[in-house]
A and B are shown apart, each in its own frame.
Chain A
Amino acid sequence: MLDQSYYRKVDEIIESYGKKSSSLIPIMQDIQEEYRYLPGELLTYVAGQIGITEAKAYSVATFYENFSFEAKGKYVIKVCDGTACHVRKSMPVLEALYKKLGLSKKKKTTDDMMFTVETVSCLGACGLAPTMMVNEDVHPRMTPEKAEEVIEKLRGGGDA
């Protein structure tokens, strides 16, 4: 059970977009931004509030890649595997991160909830390929070594 503060926050978010079915996606985006994932209970609550069925809410939430029902780490690292990054060797960067953090395609988040590693199709900074994004910061010209350094810095609590 989530405590009342979650519901109060969600009420605020719903309020800002209005109780209508077209608000569903922006509401889910804001909830996810707040909690780094989309708690199922809250989605059910939102569906009731904006007047759509729970099934509809889930069908939309599961369609879009950005929504996650599992809690993500404090730092969400998206390694770009767009065309430009791919031909400039982005996969070794991903492998290095997996290795360093003990993650894989299946296990995306570290047990201490610090890091989530995912891939993304293009960050729009192709000129600096290969790139990766840590939360909202784009890191240019990555190499496996640089990726490891970024992890070290984040672990140390600094801004990478």
Chain B
Amino acid sequence: MIQTKEALAQVREDAKKTLGSYDCRILVCSGTGCIATGSEKIYEKFLEITKDAPGVVLEFAPHEQGAHVGVKKTGCQGICELGPLVRIQKGDQAIQYTKVQPEDCEEIFKSSVQGDEVVERLLYRQNDTVYKKPEEIPFIAKQTRLVLENCGKFDAESLDEYIASGGFKALEKAMFELTPEQIIDEVDKSGLRGRGGGGFPAGRKWKQVAGQKETVRYVVCNGDEGDPGAFMDGSVMEGDPYRLIEGMMIAAYAVKARDGYIYVRAEYPMSVKRLRHAIAELEERGLLGDNILGSDFCFHMHINRGAGAFVCGEGSALTASIEGNRGMPRVKPPRTVEKGLWEKPTVLNNVETYANVPKIVLNGADWYRGYGTEGSPGTKTFSLTGSIQNTGLIEVPMGTTLREIIFDIGGGLKGGAKFKAVQIGGPSGGCLTEEHLDVPLDFDSVKKYGAIVGSGGLVVMDEHTCMVEVARFFMSFTQRESCGKCVPCREGTKRMLEILEKIVAGKGTLEDLDRLEELGEMVKNMALCGLGKSAPLPVLSTLRLFRKEYEEHIVDHKCRAKVCQAMKTYVIDPELCKGCSKCAKNCPVGAITGELKKPFTIDPQKCIHCGACKENCAFGAVHIED
């Protein structure tokens, strides 16, 4: 049991010693991405190989002497695209291996664990350069990892490792060296803004809660990361759960809350598992519960799993869901800081915001302001996906440009395709194009261009992406997820979706574009909650930037990206057609005719663009006309 400051210091000393006794650590990435590519098997394999090797211990426990090798499961190491990822750590030196298969493990163990050689074919490669050390890989070298500092470097399920790396030092400082007011002041001065999308100053929120007359208060963490294409918060919950909890504990101490809730998306079973493990471990060791570290600070943590409603990412809907109700937003004010969970003052921040707190308390506001921009200090995590060379999880200082993220860190577009746009902020965000590549990414600058930083999803699109289809895709998402409480969102999104579907089907009119804009503005101005208000943004933003593409769909019946089914004109190449009649037999509307053993033809008037002919042609004679 860790019941005093001294006991915590002792645990830290012991844990550091144990860590130092390892000659080598085999770190197997166990983020959702790598588990999907089979990292569990790699972990098992290494356990098997090391089991009988002399002088090797597997568990995190003090040992007498001799060579120690630890096999550990870590959080996300970042380059998800190249998983399963394995790091071999000897002292400060690490080797990063990519795409490791079970049959490679033996060789890695012999060469890099027992010996000091590298297995070159498994190293990271970019433009003919081979990288051995993870910190030299451009994808990682150009990042600034504060929140993700530990992700991928240590065992996400070990409290001792977290403590050894300096964990709970910030809580200790907060509890024994600072007053609650000083903590809030420090967070306020640091300029930390909510990472969930809104960008509201966290310190101000805390101050408002602390100033309430009501003395029962709650600390709630929004881990309902629902934006399609975003997985930053999931990675933090999986990779460094203790940091999130420490951040929440500091918040609770500062605003005098006794209970904390983490609301996690149901689609993140791994996050739920790691957080549950972490909370159980902390309770067992006495760091959560009553009289923490011998003080009168009592704090209990609870986990609530989401049940598949995107709208629960909105504050008042989230608290309603924890209370056991339908997750529907309510009219504000009163704001969550006054009447949140069970009508009590509530600090509600997202995962990344809390994860920033320990470092701010420990190193001070000035240190934190050393990163990022004046208006948006600190770093921001992004998930980089879509048509990009290196997909994965990244963290950069606020104010980094898109160009640096896409081309320096992301390695440019997949297959050298031409950059078209990046969708930022998910279904609540907008698009940025070539002309915005040098805009600094921070809360205020991005807003000027009709997009939002949001929670940090970056989906890169190339010329094979149809912007009208993308707008339709997001609209169908928000329409489906609209909770139905307010009319502008419930009806407005539905009508907007209908118009978009019409355009994609080749039946749109130019007036539809004006109507879309009008509806979009209406929903934006009148919807009840933030999600409704931002639902039209992807449409409005693509309409502004890619109006020509919309017009092509309507006037020329043309989809330049060749994505929209209805715009495709199928033709049969008479050179390649053998006249087998298979296409005619598969055509559901009898649009294909011809004489056996002579080239067949498609009647464009009858064709419904289903593509059955193309799919069934054995000679590749059916193609889509430009």
Contacts and interface: CB of A to CB of B under 8 A. Distances in A.
Nearest to A65: B308
B83 A128 contact: yes
Contacts of A88: 386-387
Contacts of A129: 385, 391
Given A66-B308, A121-B310, A84 B36 contact: no
Nearest to B321: A25
Contact of A138 (B32, B225, B228, B459): B32
Interface string A35-68: 0000000000000000010000001100111110
Interface stretch (A16-24, A105-113, A149-157): A16-24
Interface stretch (B229-237, B248-256, B445-453, B499-507): B229-237
Interface in A59-96: 59-60, 63-67, 81-88
Interface string B216-233: 000000000111111100
B228 A65 contact: no
Contacts of B324: 20-25, 52, 60
7 contacts: A29-B305, A82-B229, A85-B228, A124-B234, A126-B230, A127-B391, A137-B36
Contacts of B269: 136
A102 interface: no
B459 A83 contact: yes
Given A60-B324, A82-B229, A87-B461, A124 B305 contact: no
Given A122-B230, A128-B80, A64 B304 contact: no
Nearest to B227: A122
A123 interface: yes
Contact of A86 (B234, B383, B426, B473): B473
Most buried by A among B234, B266, B305, B385: B385
Interface string A114-131: 000000111111111101
Residue among B225, B383, B459 with the most chain A CB within 10 A? B459
B385 A126 contact: yes
A12 B393 CA distance: 41
A122 B36 contact: no
A126 B234 CA distance: 12
B422 to A, nearest CB: 11
Interface string B13-54: 000000000000000000011011100000000000000000
Interface residues of A, number: 42
B326 A63 contact: yes
B459 A84 contact: yes
B229 A128 contact: no
Given A66-B307, A83-B423, A121 B226 contact: yes
Nearest to A61: B307
A126 B229 contact: yes
B322 A127 contact: no
Nearest to A28: B307
B299 interface: no
Which label, helix, strand, loop or mixed, suits the secondary structure of the A interface? mixed
Contacts of A28: 307
A38 B301 CA distance: 28
A83 B325 CA distance: 29
A159 to B, nearest CB: 11
A88 B35 CA distance: 20
B226 A25 contact: no
Given A65-B307, A83-B473, A139 B386 contact: no
A67 B307 CA distance: 7
B89 to A, nearest CB: 23
Contacts of B33: 125, 127-128, 140
B323 interface: yes
Interface in B375-432: 383, 385-387, 391-393, 423, 426
Given A121-B310, A129-B385, 20 more contacts: A29-B305, A60-B326, A63-B328, A65-B307, A67-B307, A83-B386, A83-B474, A87-B465, A88-B386, A121-B228, A122-B230, A122-B231, A125-B32, A126-B80, A127-B392, A127-B393, A128-B33, A128-B36, A137-B36, A139-B36
Nearest to A139: B36
Contacts of A84: 228-229, 385-386, 391, 459
Contacts of A60: 324-326
A122 B80 contact: no
B452 to A, nearest CB: 15
Interface string B277-315: 000000000000000000000000000111111100000
Contacts of A63: 309, 326-328, 483
